[in-house]
Amino acid sequence: MQEPGTAHPQEKIAVLDFGGQYAHLIASRIRRLGAYTEIEFPDEFDASRASRYHGIVLSGGPESVYEPGAPSIDPEVLQVGVPVLGICYGHHLMMHSLGGKVSASGSREYGAAKIRWNGDPDSRGLFGGLRDDAVVWMSHGDEVEALPEGFEVLGSTPDCRFAALGDTSRNLFSIQFHPEVSHTEIGDDLLSRFIQVCGLKDSWKLQDFLRAEQDRIKADTTGRKVFFLVSGGVDSTVAYTLLAESMPSDHLRGLLVDTGFLRKDESAQVLEAIEKLGLQLMVHDASREFFEALKGEFEPEKKRKIIGDLFLKVQAQYAKELGLASEEWILGQGTIYPDTIESGSTKSSHTIKTHHNRVEAIARMIEEGRIIEPLAELYKDEVRQLGRLLGLPEHLVDRHPFPGPGLAVRCLCTPAKPEDHPGYEERSVDMQTILESSGSIQELLDAAQIQAHLLPVLSVGVQGDKRTYAHPAALFLSSNENLDTRYDSLLELATMIPNRVEKANRVVLSAKTVSTYRLKAGQDLNPERIEALQLADSIVKDFLEETGLYRKIWQFPVVLLPVYRTADELQRECIVLRPVHSRDAMTASPYMMPAEQLQDLFNRLLNTDRFGDVFLDLTSKPPGTIEWE
């Protein structure tokens, strides 16, 4: 694994990766707060290795500590004498390893909670001075039941008594929530305090990464040339620029493959932007090949792998035609770390989704040393900062993220015979029929005069660090009057439903009144459906620029959903709007624009007469991924 820089090799914090989505996010966040971090794996980490560090963080993970074969830790690591912070799975593991008890909780908890601290702030060690009632982010299905000797409860939430624990005499602390995600309001403060406890305040900066990465690029490309795949997004633009500034210009070539899944007129716009940076770019239209290869496919993972494999095949063929197929050429990508985490590329991680730049062929090339990925250790916000350090203009640095497979992962597909594939339903289901065990949800629905149906389509989610395929729950209002005043109830339902209804991992709000919906069978990726999605996406993009919302929203996926309202004779598909807040793509919360603007956007889309309904996605990540596939 490449390590970005060695500014303070003896002054560092170890982050043990137990396979959660958050191990590298923890490391990244701590770096940004001013301390150097390294990722370690528990099966290679003993007391001798632990003693090389000023502090240790035990990350989250998808397993249960009490299950056979679950990742563990050498108990002597906790006796080395350096500060240790356990997070989520790490919280459970610390308790389990030292004699406490951990078990499955009565209900899953994903999303926001408010923490209350116990006792005198001066006696809480790491947690001293952190404010009460701050929002913290939960994602767990297990909980601590009993504490080891020496530990006390230092903080609790309404649903989690043992939310923050500590043995202050040994500088051992553990928390159920995730301080590394942006939605935990006291996250940076807590991690900064941990850095101070470790004695490492202000010992690492991103400029150190840039210098070290430029040196690494020069070393890795000596005697070699790079054929770089450009998408025009922030990641590939920054990576391409970094390579261009770190190696001879005649050793670098860029290619944009138009798969047919780009936004409207995007290939021309990307070409113009890259050329304005003084870089060369070739554009190849391969849309016909991609549509043909994806005919009849509906499973998200298969779609991604077909796109990734064909992308490489097209690239290789094009390189051969240009005479770039010799061994001196290697492939360059703008991969960032969330791509590798969600693809299950760390030792214990579960696959959330396979990214196009982590398909099997790419993995083989990485093993063979034929891939260079200068941003593979960074997260989106760090990539933006790096772009600014490289002098890129703000309009390129601040572009909304766009997935490598493009609109292909925002155009949901369905099997020709849904009845042969578990999970797909013929029609939507009134949630009243399945809420007997979740009376509080039905009470809130009744009080707010909201109706709810499970839609008959599946989307990807992430719950407890594992991938889920489950149904979106659609909410319906009797009218959209005073919608702003109902946002709190809607968001509360968006948290409660995925936590308590096993079949749901998302919650959306319909632009229309209540209806039943039917699944539109046999929908694949074809030019007609992509053209419809490009239209909707273009309408949203124009709206964001006109209203000034573009800079306020981190990302705004627009999704084509293969369901239609039962009464719609034209069987028009529906659109999902997914505006989110995020800092790093690892977690996200829905962006709630003023109701007047939301209604305007609903109307613009519905007035095209191309779509049967428009939904607003109200789901946080977790439990719903930012993209729907």
Write out pLDDT tens, residues 59-96: 998 889 999 999 999 999 999 999 999 999 999 999 99
Residue 362 pLDDT exceeds 60: no
How far, in Å, CA of 188 to CA of 211, rounded? 25
44 burial level (CB within 10 Å; 0-12, 13-18, 19+):
exposed
pLDDT of residue 353: 46
| Residue 189: both structure tokens together | 């403060």
Task: Report the amino acid identity of residue 130.
Answer: L
Question: Model confidence at 337, in pLDDT bands (50, 70, 90)?
Answer: low
Residue ranges covered by each domain of the chain = 12-197, 206-406, 418-617
Residue 107 pLDDT exceeds 90: no
Q: Whose structure tokens read 């090339």?
A: 365
How far, in Å, CA of 374 to CA of 210, rounded? 10
Homologous superfamily (CATH) of 12-197 is Class I glutamine amidotransferase (GATase) domain (3.40.50.880)
Please give the CATH topology (third level) of the domain spanning 418-617: GMP Synthetase; Chain A, domain 3 (3.30.300)
What are the Cα distances from residue 251, in Å, to 220, 225, 258, 329?
13, 5, 23, 9
pLDDT of residue 436: 64
pLDDT of residue 481: 86
What are the Cα distances from residue 504, in Å, to 311, 317, 469?
33, 43, 9
Asked if 12 contacts 35 with a C-beta cutoff of 8 angstroms, the reply is yes
542 burial level (CB within 10 Å; 0-12, 13-18, 19+):
exposed
How far, in Å, CA of 304 to CA of 187, rounded? 34
How far, in Å, CA of 356 to CA of 360, rounded? 10
Asked if 408 contacts 300 with a C-beta cutoff of 8 angstroms, the reply is no
Query: Which of 95-109, 118-132, 563-577, 585-599 has the highest average model confidence (pLDDT)?
Result: 563-577
For residue 38, the tally of other CB atoms under 10 A from its CB is: 14
Please tell me if the domain spanning 12-197 has the same topology as the one spanning 418-617.
no
| Helix (H/G/I), strand (E/B), else coil: 497 | helix
Cα angle, residue 515 at apex, residues 512 and 519 outer, rounded to 5°? 110
pLDDT of residue 363: 63
What average pLDDT does range 507-534 have in this prediction?
A: 97
| Residue 78: both structure tokens together | 């906790």
| Helix (H/G/I), strand (E/B), else coil: 65 | coil
Residue 450 pLDDT exceeds 50: yes
Reference 498, options 617, 342, 338, 591; nearest CA is 617
Asked if 498 contacts 110 with a C-beta cutoff of 8 angstroms, the reply is yes
For residue 74, the tally of other CB atoms under 10 A from its CB is: 17
Asked if 311 contacts 294 with a C-beta cutoff of 8 angstroms, the reply is no
Asked if 456 contacts 503 with a C-beta cutoff of 8 angstroms, the reply is no
Residue 209 pLDDT exceeds 70: yes
- Name beta bridge partners: 462: 467
Cα angle, residue 533 at apex, residues 384 and 572 outer, rounded to 5°? 150
- Name beta bridge partners: 332: 228, 372
pLDDT of residue 111: 76
How far, in Å, CA of 629 to CA of 354, rounded? 10
How far, in Å, CA of 18 to CA of 150, rounded? 25
The strand pair at 329-332 and 371-372 is best described as parallel
Higher pLDDT among residues 40 and 525, named by residue: 525
Catalytically active residues, by annotation: 88, 178, 180
Homologous superfamily (CATH) of 206-406 is HUPs (3.40.50.620)
How far, in Å, CA of 250 to CA of 248, rounded? 6
Question: Model confidence at 1, in pLDDT bands (50, 70, 90)?
Answer: very low
- What pTM value is reported for the model? 0.73
**Tens digit of each residue's pLDDT (9 = 90 or more) over 286-306:** 999 999 999 999 998 899 899
Reference 586, options 447, 462, 503, 468; nearest CA is 462
